[in-house]
């Protein structure tokens, strides 16, 4: 018995010694079973692939598995058609016929966003940043990874796709809010006090990210199958074309758009009914929605949420006679006792009235498509030099022919060409990812156009920016509100 006691005492002394040296191992614990750590994630290609799936999953599903009362997955409208919805109402594309009360998009429609009624602006902010956070997590993960089983090739891919997603997030943030903090780390200690960055700095970051990503990414669609549901170099180049256009670097905008368009082996304009389909050759990048029970079924976010939205008469009137897009991409709302008749966008065919759980997904949510590249190339080319007018008109005609319209003559004046580009962008890209709202702002046409719309009066210049969510300013005193909101 003595011996036992001495042994135990000896063990105790050892334990004491262990503690005295402050040895950390004694406190090491097993990880939880339902999660893995950053180290493990970036251990092998397969693990990293799963994390990469997480990046896309958030973009299309907003981190939720079941629709909320708005019929959306989560509150994350950025990733669920929210940008389209909010900005189309802010601009002159969508409206609500009753124009009263507190229904969805009221404040956007009437340009009456206030700090008390933020509309959907705050959700766009939060979900854009969540997507950026997820991208940052991948970027940091790859940059600190040491495992040999996580191959260099795959590291490039993860890094490239994450950088592109971050750039996409900041592109919308800088355009919708302008003064935004540039969070590039997942450590809240580094980011929580950030001040707003200048729009130039944000754009510079977007360009840097995209240019870096472009060096990493493949030019093939090599996902699960040939579906175009993952970011590759073509999305990055298309995005670069757009961003350079927005930052007035027309040479580079032209080059990037041109590169995309010239790959006719990959990309071609589709007929109108198949533009948003899963086998569309016009698609540069689309997101694949889930179709399980409790969700929107096989509908895409916009397919689902555009049902019952009213297109404004001014947009409907802007279509030229014979434009097939007016029939192919617009459907009539019959109207009944409670709702007036009208027209709603119908670029997607599966909507909230005909979706099925587990049903076939014949269309995915298109993020970037070839038609925009034609229009970017046209505009950049025109702005490079009016001498390129012929090529510009050719690009516009490529879009027009597909819509069943006549070719524009080469005899158009410079101003007529510029107007034709704007008109074509308005019609081709209506109710799609905020193009109209962004174009109005970019081309300084917003005040002219929006102050003409009766229900938006009194129109004020400051309404071109959405307010920074007041919570964010409360939690980070270094941020300041956009002028006009108080």
Partner 1 sequence: MRVPYSWKRSSTKSLLVMKLTFFLLTAALLQVSARGLSQNINFNGKNVALEKVFAEVESQTDYVFLYKAAALSVAKPVTISAREIDLRAFLNKVFENQSLTYKIIDKNILVSQKDFSLAAGSPPVDTVPAKQESINVYVYSSGYTPLGSATISNLTDKRNYLTAGNGSAQVPVRLGDQMRISYIGYVDHIFKITEPIITSRSYNIELVLSENKLDEVQITVLGTTNKRTGTANIATVKASDIERQPVVNVLDAISGRIPGLHISQSANTAGTRKVELRGRNVLNENMFTDPLYVVDGLPIATLSVNPYGGGTPVQGGYSTSENPLYMINPLDIESVDVLKDADATALYGSRAANGVILITTKKGKPGPTRFNVNYSKVFSGVQRYMHMMNTEQYLAVRKEAMMNDAALPTRDNAPDLTIWDQNAYTDWQRLFFKNEQSNDVQLSVEGGLLLNTYRVSVGYTSTTEMYNQGRGNNRLTVGISFNHRSPNGKLAVELSANNTYSNNETAATLDFFSLPPNAPGIYDENGEYNFAPYRTQYGSNYPFRDIKNWGENQTLKSQTNVGFTYEIFKDLTAGVRVSGEFFSNKSGYYMPKAGKDPLYSPISMAFYGNGTGKSLLVRPNINYVKLFGGARVSVSLAADYSYADQDAATIIGMMYSNDNLIKSYSNAQIMQSTNNYAQLKVASLLATVAFDWENKYIVSLNGRRDGSSRFGDGARYGNFGSAGVSWVLSNEEWFKKTNMNWLSFAKIRSSYGVMGNANVGDYQYLSRWSNIPPTALDKLPDYDDQTIYTLVQPVNQKYSWSSASKFEVGARLGFFNSRLNIEGNFYINRDGKQLTNITTPAFTGFTSVVGNWPAVIRNKGVELMLDGTILNTNTWGLTARFQVSKNTNTLVAFPGLENSPYKDMYRIGTSVTAKSYSHYIGIDPMKGTPVFEDHNGDGVMPVGMSSSNFPDTQLDDHYRVIDLNPEYFGGMGFRVDFKKVLSLDAQFSFENSLVEDKLNNLGYGGMSNMVLYDEIQKKHWKQPGDKALYAKYSTLNGGGLFGSDAYYAKGAYISLDNLSLSYMLPATWLKKLGMTQGTISVNSSKIFKLSQYRMSDVELGTTPQIRRIAANLRLSF
Displacement of CA 147 from its chain's centroid (Å)? 32
Decide whether 21 or 415 has the Cβ nearer to partner 1.
21
Decide whether 141 or 342 has the Cβ nearer to partner 1.
141
Residue 89 Cβ vs partner 1, minimum distance, rounded to whole Å: 23
Selected from 72, 73, 164, 464, the binder of partner 1 by CB under 8 A is 73
- What is the footprint of partner 1 within residues 154-173 (CB under 8 A)? none
Selected from 288, 326, 426, 441, the binder of partner 1 by CB under 8 A is 288
Q: Does 55 bind partner 1 (CB under 8 A)?
A: yes
3-state secondary structure of 321: coil
DSSP 225: S
* Segment interacting with partner 1, rule: CB under 8 A, options 17-25, 104-112, 309-317, 340-348: 17-25
Residue 225 Cβ vs partner 1, minimum distance, rounded to whole Å: 9
Q: Does 146 bind partner 1 (CB under 8 A)?
A: no
Q: Which residues pair with 95 in a beta bridge?
A: 310
Decide whether 310 or 355 has the Cβ nearer to partner 1.
355
Decide whether 56 or 254 has the Cβ nearer to partner 1.
56
Instruction: Please give the helix or strand (H or E) that residue 202 lies within, else none.
Output: helix 199-216
The angle at the Cα of 478, spanning 135 to 166, to the nearest 5 degrees, equals: 15
Q: Does 133 bind partner 1 (CB under 8 A)?
A: yes
Instruction: Please give the helix or strand (H or E) that residue 458 lies within, else none.
Output: none
3-state secondary structure of 281: coil
* Segment interacting with partner 1, rule: CB under 8 A, options 225-233, 306-314, 390-398, 453-461: 225-233
For the stretch 95-120, what's the b/e string if a residue is b when 16 or more beta carbons lie within 10 angstroms of its beta carbon? bbeeeeeeebbbbbbbbebeeeebbb
Residue 324 Cβ vs partner 1, minimum distance, rounded to whole Å: 32
Query: How do 180-181 and 196-197 pair as beta strands?
Result: antiparallel
Q: Does 348 bind partner 1 (CB under 8 A)?
A: no
Q: Could you check whether the bond before residue 18 is cis, i.e. omega within 30 degrees of 0? A: no
Q: Does 3 bind partner 1 (CB under 8 A)?
A: no
Residue 194 Cβ vs partner 1, minimum distance, rounded to whole Å: 8
Residue 308 Cβ vs partner 1, minimum distance, rounded to whole Å: 24
Decide whether 55 or 217 has the Cβ nearer to partner 1.
55
**What's the Cα-to-Cα distance from 343 to each of 88, 301, 310, 311, 335, rounded to whole Å?**
14, 19, 6, 6, 10
Q: Does 471 bind partner 1 (CB under 8 A)?
A: yes
Binding residue count for partner 1, defined by CB under 8 A: 85
Decide whether 1 or 454 has the Cβ nearer to partner 1.
1
Displacement of CA 306 from its chain's centroid (Å)? 17
Cα dihedral 316, 320, 325, 328 sign: positive
* Segment interacting with partner 1, rule: CB under 8 A, options 9-17, 152-160, 298-306, 326-334: 9-17
3-state secondary structure of 277: strand
Q: Does 5 bind partner 1 (CB under 8 A)?
A: yes
Q: Does 360 bind partner 1 (CB under 8 A)?
A: no
Cα(369)–Cα(269) distance, integer angstroms: 9
Phi, psi of 367 (to 5 degrees): -100, -35
Q: Does 31 bind partner 1 (CB under 8 A)?
A: yes
Q: Does 65 bind partner 1 (CB under 8 A)?
A: yes
Question: Which candidate, 173, 184, 65, 189, places its Cα nearest to that of 126?
Answer: 173
Cα(476)–Cα(249) distance, integer angstroms: 34
- What is the footprint of partner 1 within residues 33-52 (CB under 8 A)? 33-38, 40-41, 47, 49-51
Q: Does 28 bind partner 1 (CB under 8 A)?
A: yes
Q: Does 137 bind partner 1 (CB under 8 A)?
A: yes
């Amino acid at each position: 018995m003595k011996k036992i006691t001495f042994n135990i005492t000896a063990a105790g002394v050892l334990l004491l010694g262990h503690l005295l040296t402050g040895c950390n191992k004694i406190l090491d614990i097993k990880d939880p079973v339902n999660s893995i750590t950053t180290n493990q994630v970036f251990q092998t290609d397969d693990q990293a692939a799963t994390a990469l799936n997480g990046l896309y999953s958030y973009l299309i599903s907003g981190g939720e598995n079941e629709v909320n009362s708005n019929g959306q997955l989560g509150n994350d409208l950025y990733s669920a058609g929210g940008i389209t919805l909010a900005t189309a109402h802010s601009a002159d594309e969508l409206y609500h016929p009753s124009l009263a009360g507190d229904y969805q998009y009221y404040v956007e429609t009437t340009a009456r966003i206030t700090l008390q009624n933020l509309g959907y602006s705050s959700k766009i902010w939060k979900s854009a940043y969540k997507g950026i956070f997820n991208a940052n997590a991948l970027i940091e993960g790859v940059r600190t990874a040491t495992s040999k089983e996580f191959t260099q090739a795959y590291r490039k891919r993860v890094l490239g796709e994450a950088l592109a997603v971050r750039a996409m997030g900041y592109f919308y943030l800088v355009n919708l809010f302008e003064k935004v903090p540039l969070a590039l780390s997942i450590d809240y200690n580094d980011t929580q006090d950030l001040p707003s960055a200048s729009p130039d700095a944000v754009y510079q970051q977007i360009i840097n990210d995209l240019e870096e990503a472009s060096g990493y990414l493949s030019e093939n669609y090599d996902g699960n199958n040939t579906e175009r549901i993952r970011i590759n170099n073509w999305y990055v180049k298309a995005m670069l074309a757009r961003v350079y256009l927005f930052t007035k670097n027309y040479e580079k905008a032209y080059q990037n758009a041109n590169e995309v368009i010239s790959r006719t082996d990959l990309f071609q304009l589709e007929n109108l009914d198949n533009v948003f389909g899963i086998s569309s050759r016009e698609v540069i990048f689309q997101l694949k929605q889930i179709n399980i029970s409790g969700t929107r079924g096989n509908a895409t976010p916009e397919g689902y949420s555009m049902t019952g939205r009213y297109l404004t008469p001014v947009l409907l009137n802007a279509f030229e006679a014979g434009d097939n897009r007016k029939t192919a991409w617009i459907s009539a709302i019959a109207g009944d006792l409670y709702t007036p008749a009208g027209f709603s966008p119908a670029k997607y065919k599966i909507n909230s009235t005909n979706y099925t759980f587990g049903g076939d997904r014949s269309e995915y949510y298109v993020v970037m498509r070839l038609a925009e590249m034609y229009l970017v190339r046209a505009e950049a080319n025109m702005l490079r030099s009016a001498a390129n007018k012929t090529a510009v008109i050719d690009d516009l005609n490529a879009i027009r022919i597909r819509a069943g319209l006549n070719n524009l003559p080469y005899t158009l004046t410079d101003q007529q060409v510029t107007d034709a580009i704007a008109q074509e962008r308005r019609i081709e890209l209506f109710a799609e990812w905020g193009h109209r709202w962004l174009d109005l702002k970019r081309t300084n046409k917003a005040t002219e156009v929006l102050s003409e719309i009766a229900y938006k009066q009194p129109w004020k210049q400051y309404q071109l920016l959405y307010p920074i969510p007041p919570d964010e300013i409360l939690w980070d005193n270094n941020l300041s509100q956009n002028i006009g909101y108080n």
